[in-house]
């Protein structure tokens, strides 16, 4: 079986992506900073920003992913995770 890893799986688009890939017979593994079950075969609560800066956290996350993917072949990564900041362009700062 092929697997799909979908970030931002707790939101509406992420849930729809999980459902679409499951319907296409993929094992779906969803990750998000917020807990959700959605339509994924497996869900891992994960902070992607922390993943980039914290090596022990990264190793634990990788271990969880390997466990959840199991014997499936990871063929798809959907980077759907995002932070939405609403406002006009005049209000945006470099830090934002």
42-91 confidence digits (pLDDT tens): 999 999 889 889 999 999 999 999 999 999 999 999 999 887 777 777 87
pLDDT range class, residue 3, cuts 50, 70, 90 = very high
Tell me phi and psi for residue 62, to 5 degrees: -60, -40
Query: For residue 59, what pLDDT is reported?
Result: 96
CATH number assigned to the domain covering 2-81 = 3.40.50.720
| Closest listed residue to residue 48, CA positions, set 6, 87, 3 | 6
Assess whether pLDDT exceeds 70 at residue 96: no
Mean local confidence (pLDDT), 22-29: 96
Query: For residue 81, what pLDDT is reported?
Result: 87
User: Against a cut of 0.75, is the pTM above it?
Assistant: yes
- Is 34 within 8 Å of 10 (Cβ atoms)? yes
Mean local confidence (pLDDT), 3-28: 94
Give the count of beta carbons closer than 10 Å to the beta carbon of residue 27: 22
Give the distance from CA 82 to its chain's centroid: 10
Mark residue 50 as left, alpha or beta (left: phi above 0; alpha: psi -120 to 50; beta: remaining): alpha
- Residues recorded for the chain: 96
């Amino acid at each position: 079986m092929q697997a799909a890893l979908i970030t931002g799986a707790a939101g509406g688009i992420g849930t729809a992506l999980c459902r679409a890939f499951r319907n296409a017979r993929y094992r779906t593994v969803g990750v998000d900073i917020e807990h959700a079950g959605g339509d994924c075969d497996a869900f891992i609560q994960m902070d992607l920003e922390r993943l980039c800066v914290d090596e022990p956290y990264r190793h634990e996350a990788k271990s969880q992913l390997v466990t959840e993917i199991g014997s499936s072949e990871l063929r798809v990564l959907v980077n759907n995770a995002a932070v939405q900041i609403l406002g006009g362009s005049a209000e945006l700062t470099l830090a934002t």
